[in-house]
């Protein structure tokens, strides 16, 4: 459904995208991730024909984004993060207006407005002015707009931003129901939502592609982490941990005299027995010792080194 090859975007001397290549198949739900300034928004603006690229090629449903923009727009439903909604229109009137812009006939438009209002949980506010709605409801109106023309590709930028837990669960359920019938690309900073919603992820950092593939396979390549809480001085624990020569270690000093430690980089080496033996030898108290399987957040942090971009 999406074919991106050697996509590059320059803003003067600044390189926002540096020759990225990826693809998204029909019916897939894919998470599009990266720190602030990684190039996600630039990529989505190019995919949705709002922004020209410096070089490279992008095809949506076999149509060239640069040479056939109008045909590409007919394939896409897009919800930007800060969705500009007219506050002086009622929800139903706004969706009807948007249906006209999407060239839907009057009969189909009426039917689709009712359908997407029900899908997105806004039927009860359909006759209210958008300016009277909470941020969560406005997000749902934006999603309903994206679904109106029953597009092949749905691009959602931070779709659960501002939603309460129940609303978030509802949106997640809706996205999963749309999978298969639609191709969905989701950009979000809420990694737990991506992990529960998507099958594949694409990760950008500083305009470059770091990873692309099935989420479970990518996560399985990450290192395990061992978490422990030890009653000892922070300096003693750090000195002992340095002997393990691990690449990534985190220490949090607790008020009750315990130090919470997280050791990463232990893919093929279970440190729990060694930690237990060392604690006994040194007379420290041990309150927790557990091994954590990697998560999407662990994968994300390990790939981006926890560094935020400046774009």
Query: 103-156, pLDDT tens digit by residue?
Result: 999 999 999 999 999 988 899 999 999 999 988 888 889 989 999 999 999 999
The yes-or-no verdict on residue 270 having pLDDT over 80 is no
Contacts of 199 (CB under 8 A, 6+ apart): 28, 29, 30, 214, 215
Measure CA of the first residue to CA of the last residue in the chain; give whole Å: 28
Distance CA 287, CA 271 (A): 16
- Please say if the pLDDT value at position 308 is more than 70: no
Give the pLDDT score at 247.
56
Q: In degrees, to the nearest 5, what angle opens at C-alpha 196 toward C-alphas 191 and 198? A: 85
Angle of the 135-147 helix axis to the 91-101 helix axis, nearest 10: 30
Sheet holding 2-11, edge to edge: 14-24, 2-11, 55-60, 63-64
b/e map of 248-266 (b: 16 or more CB within 10 Å)?
A: bbeeeeeeeebbbbebbbb
Give the model's pLDDT for residue 309: 39
Q: What is the mean pLDDT of residues 87-113?
A: 95
Q: Cβ(75)–Cβ(152) under 8 Å?
A: yes
Taking the CA atoms of 72, 74, 75 and 81 in sequence, report the sign of the dihedral they define.
Answer: positive
Residue ranges per structural domain of the chain:
2-213, 225-293
Q: What is the mean pLDDT of the chain?
A: 87
Per-residue model confidence as pLDDT tens digits over 208-248: 998 888 888 887 776 677 888 999 989 988 888 887 665 56
Kindly indicate the confidence band of residue 269, based on its pLDDT and cuts at 50, 70 and 90. Answer: low
Multiple choice CATH, 2-213, 1.10.10.10, 3.40.50.300, 1.20.1630.10, 2.130.10.10: 3.40.50.300
| Residue-level pLDDT at 105 | 94
Q: Fold match between 2-213 and 225-293?
A: no
Convert the pLDDT of each residue in 76-88 to its tens digit.
999 987 788 999 9
CA distance 268 to 165: 37
Report the percent of the chain where pLDDT is more than 90.
47
225-293: CATH topology: Alpha-Beta Plaits (3.30.70)
């Amino acid at each position: 459904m999406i074919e991106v090859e050697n996509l590059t975007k320059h803003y003067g001397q600044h390189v926002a995208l540096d020759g990225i290549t990826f693809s998204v198949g029909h019916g897939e739900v894919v998470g599009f991730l990266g720190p602030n300034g990684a190039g996600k928004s630039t990529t989505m603006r190019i995919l949705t024909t709002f922004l020209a690229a410096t070089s490279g090629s992008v095809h949506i449903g076999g149509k060239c984004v640069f040479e056939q923009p109008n045909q590409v727009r007919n394939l896409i439903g897009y919800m930007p993060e800060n969705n500009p909604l007219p506050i002086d229109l009622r929800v139903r009137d706004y969706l009807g207006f948007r249906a006209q812009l999407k060239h839907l006939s009057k009969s189909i438009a009426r039917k689709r407005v009712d359908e997407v209002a029900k899908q997105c949980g806004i039927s009860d506010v359909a006759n209210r002015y958008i300016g009277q709605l909470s941020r969560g409801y406005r997000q749902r109106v934006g999603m309903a707009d994206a679904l109106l023309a029953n597009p092949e590709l749905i691009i959602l930028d931070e779709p659960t931003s501002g939603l309460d837990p129940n609303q978030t669960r509802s949106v997640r359920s809706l996205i999963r129901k749309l999978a298969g019938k639609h191709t969905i690309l989701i950009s979000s900073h809420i990694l737990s939502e991506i992990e529960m919603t998507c099958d594949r992820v694409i990760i950008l950092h500083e305009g470059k592609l770091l990873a692309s593939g099935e989420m479970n396979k990518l996560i399985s390549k990450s290192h395990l982490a061992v978490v422990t809480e030890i009653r000892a001085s922070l300096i003693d624990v750090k000195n002992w941990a340095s002997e393990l020569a691990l690449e990534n270690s985190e220490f949090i000093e607790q008020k009750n005299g315990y130090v919470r430690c997280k050791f990463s980089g232990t893919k093929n080496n279970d440190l729990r027995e060694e930690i237990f033996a060392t604690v006994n030898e040194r007379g420290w108290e041990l309150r927790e010792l557990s091994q954590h399987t990697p998560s999407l957040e662990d994968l994300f942090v390990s790939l981006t080194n926890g560094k935020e971009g400046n774009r």
